[in-house]
Amino acid sequence: MKNTTLIIFLVILAFLGIKGCSSYNGLVNKDENVSKAWSNVESAYQRRADLIPNLVNTVKGYADHEKSTLEAVIQARANATSTKIDPSNLTPEAFKKFQEAQQGLSGALSRLLVSVERYPDLKANQNFLELQSQLEGTENRINVERNKFNEVVTDYNKSVRRFPNNLFAGMFGFARKATFEAKSGSDEAPKVNF
């Protein structure tokens, strides 16, 4: 009887050990996928930040009296590039700060591109057209990478919350991670007044 109880106990202990190792390794794999996806997001944002000095310099040659708009873009770029998130600390608070900095840069770029409409020579400049095209492509890449990131984080978060992984996740310090969310008011259609 003692031997049977000991064997059952050892089998249960072995099963829990194997399941624990499997869960831990699976969570590590998914956590690394989140870090990789975050690196891709940062890389796309960095590409945008790298294009901005060339765009500003091109506009500067044509639109000297748009100085405040150009300075706003430069300042927004500085804010956006200085706001970093460690992939191991993807909290909603850190994400909010990051998104606010990136939205500030997007807004400043939009104002710059609107002001360019007043300069037909600039709009016809080949360098400007190429930079504008690259910037548009980069914005698309940012969107694609953000969507991929959200998919990877959602998969990770599901694994962290599912039973019995949630037991092992809690023991080993795996916590839910934040995703990108739409900015407030983006669910409403913009109003256009002529």
Mean pLDDT score, 120-149: 85
The residue-averaged pLDDT of 118-143 equals 82
Q: 31-172: what CATH class?
A: mainly alpha
Q: Check residues 166 and 124 and name the one with the higher pLDDT.
A: 166
pLDDT of residue 65: 62
pLDDT at 64: 65
Burial of residue 2 (CB within 10 Å: 0-12, 13-18, 19+) is exposed
77 vs 73: CA distance, rounded Å:
6
- Mean pLDDT of the residues in the chain: 83
- DSSP 3-state of 192: coil
Record the pTM.
Answer: 0.76
Question: Which of 98-102, 126-130, 142-146 reaches the highest mean pLDDT?
Answer: 142-146
Dihedral-angle region of residue 61 (phi above 0 means left; psi in -120 to 50 means alpha; beta otherwise): alpha
d(CA 136, CA 133): 5
Please state the rounded mean pLDDT for residues 126-149: 88
Overall average pLDDT of the 82-106 stretch: 85
